Amino acid sequence: MRYAISYVSTVNPALSESEIQEALDFSKNWNNDNQVTGVLLYSQGNFFQVLEGEEQLLKDLFKRIKADQRHHNIITIFQKQIPDIQFDGYEADFISLDDRFQQKNINTYTNQVSLLNPAIQSSVRYILNKFTEGIK
Ligand SMILES: Cc1cc2nc3c(=O)[nH]c(=O)nc-3n(C[C@H](O)[C@H](O)[C@H](O)COP(=O)(O)O)c2cc1C
């Protein structure tokens, strides 16, 4: 059975921009190597993440993520079994730092949402809109 987890969290304020980028890059690589799909975004001190993958793999990964000192206040939005369809790719990026933000990035993530499992798409779309609202 495939599984999906989504949460928001607060960055550890001691983290530098390059350390955040490191966490995003690591996540994107590991997830793509392990057939985990979804999206991880950083905006104005907060992370928003959607993970889709094999159930036990995802539960183990989420344990590691929750124990990670680089963020806290982890609020789970959903954590559930989803229909067994696999979508492509993992995206991880900043979406709001001034020197990086571009409207085309927002479009990339909106497109990424359309690659998510239909069972979670509408709630993810809703949260993504909220998440990006403040920077448009
Ligand atoms: C906001 C955030 C999201 C993360 N997302 C992932 C992820 O999707 N996949 C991943 O492998 N590691 C992710 N990590 C890194 C993990 O927390 C952890 O460092 C990594 O799995 C290595 O675990 P280990 O140090 O126990 O071996 C994330 C870290 C942070 C701070």
> What residue ranges do the domains of the chain occupy?
2-133
Average pLDDT over the chain reads 85
3-class DSSP assignment, residue 27: helix
Q: Which residue puts its alpha carbon closest to atom 21 of ligand 1?
A: 64
Task: State percent of the chain over pLDDT 90.
Answer: 47
Residue of 3, 8, 19, 27 with the most ligand 1 atoms within 8 Å of its CB, for mutation: 27
| Burial class of 105 by CB neighbour count within 10 A (0 to 12, 13 to 18, 19+) | middle
pLDDT digits (tens, 9 = 90+) for 60-74: 999 999 999 999 999
Task: Report yes or no: 125 and 7 within 8 Å, Cβ to Cβ.
Answer: no
Q: Phi and psi for 98 in degrees, rounded to 5?
A: -50, -45
Ligand 1 atom nearest to CA at 51 = 8
Q: For residue 41, what pLDDT band results from cuts at 50, 70 and 90?
A: confident
- Residue holding tokens 């304020």? 13
Q: Which CATH topology does 2-133 take?
A: Alpha-Beta Plaits (3.30.70)
Is 47 within 8 Å of 40 (Cβ atoms)? yes
Q: How far is the CA of 79 from the centre of ligand 1 (A)?
A: 17
Q: How far is the CA of 65 from the centre of ligand 1 (A)?
A: 5
What atom of ligand 1 comes closest to residue 90's alpha carbon? 8
Least confidently predicted of 16-25, 32-41, 70-79, 121-130: 121-130
Residue in 117, 106, 1 with CA at minimum distance from that of residue 50:
117
